[in-house]
Amino acid sequence: MPELSQETERGRGAAPFGLAEVTGPSMVPTLYQGDQLLVRYGARVRAGDVVVLRHPFQQDLLVVKRAVELREGGWWVLGDNAYAGGDSTDYGTVPEELILGRVLFRWRPLRPGQRSPLAVVRWALSAARPVLSSDRSGRAASWRLRAR
């Protein structure tokens, strides 16, 4: 159940920013397959932030999740898609040292079939967006946590 391509690791030592590509469904509707992400490595993480982390049991696997709350032992992380799994409900808290960075921005590449002028305009209006932290009043992963 990979979430990010391994491109995230390239060039990490040289700059505090990096790029990643989403390859799984766990963050739908916030992030979709093929979305490109701008990640700030070493950024301070707050509850509600979307983060890139190493999977606690497969540390060569990078995943993207929403940091819900800091608990004893690390961050409780959840995907925005309640049906996809692969988050702290499966593997518990994630130690802080496995959190690599915070997602700042996402953009969706133009799909090959989007060639009509209307499709291109729709894409242009929605392709690039900052990835905002959720708050308790919105449809956030933290709502899922409280509802369980």
For the segment 1-15, what is each residue's pLDDT rounded down to a tens digit? Answer: 345 654 444 444 557
Question: What whole-number distance in Å separates Cα of residue 130 and Cα of residue 20?
Answer: 14
Q: Output the pTM of the full model.
A: 0.77
In the predicted structure, residue 132 carries a pLDDT above the cut 60: yes
What are the structure tokens assigned to 10, written together? 């390239």
Sign of the Cα torsion 16, 106, 89, 10 reads negative
